Amino acid sequence: MGNLGMGVMLGILGGNGETVEAIKSSLNKTIENVFLDNDTLTLHFTDGTTLLISDEGQACCEDRYMTTDDNLSDFKGATLLDLELKSVEVIDEGYNYHEIQFLDVKYHEIQFLDVKTTKGVFTMVNHNEHNGFYGGFWVVGRIA
């Protein structure tokens, strides 16, 4: 990983107690609807609660976004069992993937979020493209 960005460092200093509680309170609930919108994974449960998961580590000059290749609608009706983050090595791109103002992208960090359910696992991918002076991820969960 490159240098940690300010957003990530502030998150680390603040702790992740809210995220732990949000996820713990969502386990073993039935998923009514699940979708990705505005780089936030949203899980609506049949009991009326909603779990939002996003990367909140944004600093000055990064491009952060979340993607998936899985069909999230396949997981409606499943029970949420667990979530697991998996980091991978920084990729030195040497060129831009996206139009980013004020930033010559050279590094592309990726972190996987495996969401384990009774219907199998779907994988979300957090991306952080930066110039090497920022980096890391601060994935948070909150109840809406």
Q: What percent of the chain has pLDDT over 90?
A: 50
Identify the pLDDT of residue 102.
47
Identify the pLDDT of residue 108.
82
Give the domain ranges of the chain: 6-143
Q: Residue 138 and residue 16: Cα distance in Å, rounded?
A: 9
Identify the pLDDT of residue 16.
80
Pairing relation of β-strands 31-37 and 139-143? unpaired
Q: Residue 132 and residue 12: Cα distance in Å, rounded?
A: 19
